[in-house]
Amino acid sequence: MKQFSLSLISKTSKDCSSSDCCVVSNNDERQSLIKRGLLLQYLTLGYCGLEGIVGIVSGFACGSVALVGFGLDSAIEVTSGVASLARLKADGHSYWHDKMEKLSLKIIGVCFIALALYVAWESVEALIAHHVPEASMPGIFLAVSSVLIMPRLAKAKKNVAQNLGSAALNADSNQAVFCSYLSAILLLGLVFNTVLGWWWADSAAAICMVPIIGREGLLAIVGKSCNNSCC
């Protein structure tokens, strides 16, 4: 299963860089891209669903704002994944294509903004209350696995988005990119708290997540989540 997933992630139809992007117009090629995109979305839904459950449960168990925030971010990725599935299935139907494109971006953006506000509030409250989170080995393992998996998944999804010329799918792939950033921030916070006993590191890590989450939410809402000229 792992070998199949890695081969799926690494397989791309065309390598479109940000400076030389190529939107596929051939119907057969687009259908192939859509099938690959659907498989990647199902993989994302499965992994992020597990990621969200482990993050939220472990975070509440040890009192980690950063871990809970990371788990909720994963839940948003599941929401985004469902919206992107609808976008992929609407490809080729101009009316529903445009509707799902705009709706997907709005859903993704609103979820991000809500999460940024939640994480900011909880982080500041934890610092003021001098809340000391417990060590969380499940959280550390989760962060490490996400640091390794999400960048490859993001690259594969972005390639499909660029070839299809979809801002909504590109926004969804950006979520995987930001998830890898959040994973690294989370990992540092959990390790510093566990190894060095820096109780404030967890809240500091969570606060560092806020501008990353909020920025992508705003870009999605205004429809500028695709940074490439082709989308």
pLDDT tens figures, 86-96: 767 765 555 66
Fold type of domain 27-221:
Alpha-lytic protease prodomain-like (1.20.1510)
**The model scores a pTM over 0.85:** no
- Confidence band for 133, pLDDT divided at 50, 70 and 90: confident
Structure tokens of 87? Answer: 């976008």
User: What pLDDT does residue 85 have?
Assistant: 74
- Over residues 16-28, the mean pLDDT reads 56
Say which residues have a Cβ less than 8 Å from residue 204's Cβ, sequence separation at least 6: 123, 189
Residue whose structure tokens are 């597990």: 50
The tokens for 137 are 């080995």
Task: Kindly write down the DSSP assignment for every residue of 162-231, as one continuous string.
Answer: HHHT-HHHHHHHHHHHHHHHHHHHHHHHHHIIIII--TTHHHHHHHHHHHHHHHHHHHHHTT----STT-
pLDDT band at 18 (very low <50, low <70, confident <90, very high): very low
Query: Mean pLDDT of all residues in the chain?
Result: 76
Domain residue spans of the chain: 27-221
CA separation for the pair 75, 28 (Å, rounded): 33
Q: Which residue has the tokens 């969200």?
A: 52
Task: Give me the amino acid identity at 202.
Answer: D
User: Predicted confidence band at 53 (pLDDT cuts at 50, 70, 90)?
Assistant: very high
Tokens of 216: 């992508």
- Cα angle vertex 141, ends 138, 145, to 5°? 140
What is the phi/psi pair of residue 71, to 5°? -65, -40
Closest C-alpha to 50, from 141, 155, 177: 141
Which of 208, 220, 211 shows the shortest CA–CA distance to 172?
220
Instruction: Give the pLDDT band (50/70/90) at residue 17.
Output: very low
pLDDT (average), residues 162-181: 76
What confidence tens digit (pLDDT) does each residue in 191-215 have? 888 888 888 888 888 888 888 888 8
CA–CA separation, 130 and 156 (whole Å): 42
CB-CB contact of 226 with 171 (8 Å): yes
3-state secondary structure of 102: helix
Print burial letters for 139-173: b (CB count within 10 Å at least 16), e (below 16): bbebbbebbebbbebbbbbbbbbbbbbbbbbbbbb
Query: Tokens for 11?
Result: 């397989």
Q: Is the pLDDT of residue 103 over 50?
A: yes
* Better-scored residue on pLDDT, 169 or 67: 67
- Residue 20 banded pLDDT, cuts 50, 70, 90: very low
Per-residue pLDDT, 87 = 67
Burial letters 45-61, b for 16+ CB under 10 A, else e? bebbeebbebbbebbee
Per-residue pLDDT for 226 more than 60? no
